[in-house]
Chains A and B, each alone.
Chain A
Amino acid sequence: MSIEATMKFFVRLRRAMLSDTVSAVAAVVLVLILLISIFGPFLPIGKPDQIGFGPRLGGWSWSAPMGTDQLGRSVLARVLQGIRVTFVLSTVSVAIAGLAGALVGISATYFHRLADEVASRTADIMFAFPPILLGFLVVAIFRPGVTSAMAVIALITFPTMLRVVRASTLSVMRRDFMLVAEISGVSFVDRIFRHLLPNVANVIVVQTIYSISLGMLIESSLSFLGLGVQPPAASLGSLLRDGATYLEIAPWLSVGPGIILALSIMSINLVGDATRSFVDPTYRF
Chain B
Amino acid sequence: MRGLVGFLLFRVLSASVTLLGLTLVVFTAMHLIPGDFTEVLVPRGTPEFRKALAERLGLDGPLYWQYLTWLKNLVSGDFGASLITSQPVWKEFAGRLPVTMELAVLSVATSIAIGAPLGLISGLAGTGRFVSAISRVFCGFTVSLPDFFLGTIFLYVFSKYALGLTVGDFVPLSVNPEAHFRGMALPVLSLSLLGIGTVAAVTRETVFTLSDQDYVFAATVRGRSMSQIVRRHFVRNASVPLLTVISIYLGYLLGGSILIEQLFSLPGIGRYIFQAVQARDYPVVQAGVVMIAAAFVLTNMLTDIAYGVIDPRMRAGHEH
Chain A residues packing against B (C-beta within 8 Å):
21-22, 26, 121-122, 124-126, 128-133, 136-141, 213, 217, 220-221, 224-227, 240, 243-244, 247-248, 251, 254, 258, 261-262, 265-266, 269-270, 273, 284-285
Contacts of B292 in A (CB 8 A): 130, 133
Q: B217 near A: Cβ within 8 Å?
A: no
B175 contacts the other chain (Cβ, under 8 Å)? no
The answer to whether B152 and A140 have CB atoms under 8 Å apart is no
Question: B136, B258, B277, B296: which contacts A128 (Cβ < 8 A)?
Answer: B296
Provide 17 A-B residue pairs closer than 8 Å at the C-beta atoms, listed in order of the A residue: A21-B129, A128-B294, A129-B296, A133-B292, A139-B277, A140-B33, A140-B282, A141-B34, A220-B146, A224-B259, A225-B262, A261-B149, A262-B145, A266-B140, A266-B141, A270-B136, A273-B136
A221's partner among B132, B148, B156 (CB-CB below 8 A) is B148
The 9 A-B residue pairs with the shortest CB-CB distance in the complex, in nearest-first order = A130-B255, A266-B144, A125-B21, A258-B149, A265-B144, A132-B255, A137-B29, A128-B293, A262-B145
Residue B251 lies at the interface, judged by CB distance under 8 Å to chain A? yes
Interface: B273 (CB within 8 A): yes
B144 touches A269 (CB 8 A): yes
Q: Which of B32, B136, B297 contacts A22 (CB 8 A)?
A: B136
Q: State the CA gap A223–B272 with chains docked (Å).
A: 18
CB distance from B113 to the nearest CB of A (A): 24
Give 13 A-B pairs besides A132-B256, A133-B254, A140-B33 with Cβ atoms closer than 8 angstroms. Answer: A121-B18, A122-B21, A128-B296, A129-B296, A133-B289, A139-B277, A141-B33, A247-B155, A261-B146, A266-B140, A269-B143, A270-B137, A284-B205
A-B pair count, CB < 8 Å, reads 139
Which residues in B have their C-beta under 8 angstroms from that of A141?
A: 29, 32-34
| B90 interface hit (Cβ, 8 Å) | no
B152 to chain A: closest residue by CB: A254
Which residues on B sit within 8 Å (CB–CB) of A140? 29-30, 33, 277, 280, 282, 285
Whether A254 contacts B277 in the complex (CB less than 8 A), given A125-B21, A131-B255, A137-B26, comes out as no
Q: Are A125 and B22 in contact (CB-based, < 8 A)?
A: yes
Report B's interface with A, CB cutoff 8 A: 17-18, 21-22, 25-26, 29-30, 32-34, 127, 129, 132-133, 135-137, 140-141, 143-146, 148-149, 152-153, 155-156, 159-160, 205, 208, 251-252, 254-256, 258-259, 262-263, 273-274, 277-278, 280, 282, 285, 288-289, 292-294, 296-297
* Contacts A133-B293, A141-B33, A285-B136; A243 near B255 (Cβ below 8 A): no
Q: Is the CB of B208 within 8 A of A269?
A: no
Nearest Cβ on chain B to A7's Cβ, whole angstroms: 28
Say whether A247 contacts B152, CB under 8 Å: yes
**Residues of A contacting B251 in the complex (Cβ-Cβ under 8 angstroms):** 130
Chain B residues with Cβ under 8 A from A243's Cβ?
152
Most buried by B among A22, A136, A141: A136
> Within 8 Å CB of A251, what residues of B?
156
Distance in angstroms between the alpha carbons of A185 and B81 in the assembled complex: 64
Residues of B within 8 A of A266 (CB): 140-141, 143-145
In the complex, are the beta carbons of A132 and B152 less than 8 A apart? no
- Return chain B residues, CB-CB under 8 Å to A129: 22, 25, 289, 293, 296
Q: Which B residues are CB-close (under 8 A) to A122?
A: 21
> Is the beta-carbon distance between B149 and A240 smaller than 8 angstroms?
yes
Contacts of A217 in B (CB 8 A): 146
Q: Which of A121, A248, A265 contacts B21 (CB 8 A)?
A: A121
Q: Which residues of B contact A225 (CB under 8 A)?
A: 258-259, 262, 274
Contact A136 B146 (CB under 8 A): no
Residues A130 and B254 in contact, CB atoms below 8 Å apart:
yes
Minimum distance in angstroms from B106 CB to a CB of chain A = 19
Report B114 CB to chain A, min CB distance, Å: 20
What residues of chain A lie closer than 8 Å to B141, measured between beta carbons? 262, 266
- What residues of chain B lie closer than 8 Å to A213, measured between beta carbons? 144
Verify A285–B146 contact, CB threshold 8 A.
no
Q: Are B152 and A22 in contact (CB under 8 A)?
A: no
Contacts of B282 in A (CB 8 A): 140
- Residues of chain A contacted by B22 (CB below 8 angstroms): 125, 128-129
